[in-house]
Amino acid sequence: MLSKILVPMDDSDHAGYALEYALDNHPDAAVTVFHVVGVPSMMMGDAVGLSLEDDLDAAAAERAEPVFDRAREIAADRDREIETIVGIGHPARNIIDRAEEYDTVVLGSHGEDWTRATRRFLVGNVAETVSKRSPVPVIIVR
Each residue of 122-136: pLDDT tens digit?
Answer: 446 889 999 999 999
Does the CA dihedral 22-63-130-124 come out positive or negative?
positive
Angle (CA) 121-125-127 rounded to 5° is 145
**45: CB partners within 8 A, 6+ apart:** none
pLDDT one-digit tens code per residue, 13-49? 999 999 999 999 999 999 999 999 975 554 444 544 5
Q: What are phi and psi of 128, to 5 degrees?
A: -65, -45
Full domain range(s) for residue 111: 4-141
Output 132 or 118, whichever has higher pLDDT.
132
Q: Do residues 142 and 111 touch, judged by C-beta distance below 8 A? A: yes
**Residue 115: is its pLDDT beyond 50?**
no
**Structural domains in the chain (count):** 1
Specify burial of residue 86 (Cβ count, 10 A radius: 0-12, 13-18, 19+).
buried
**Residue 73: is its pLDDT beyond 60?**
yes
Structure pTM? 0.84
CATH, residue 129: 3.40.50.620
> According to the model, what pLDDT value does residue 43 have?
47
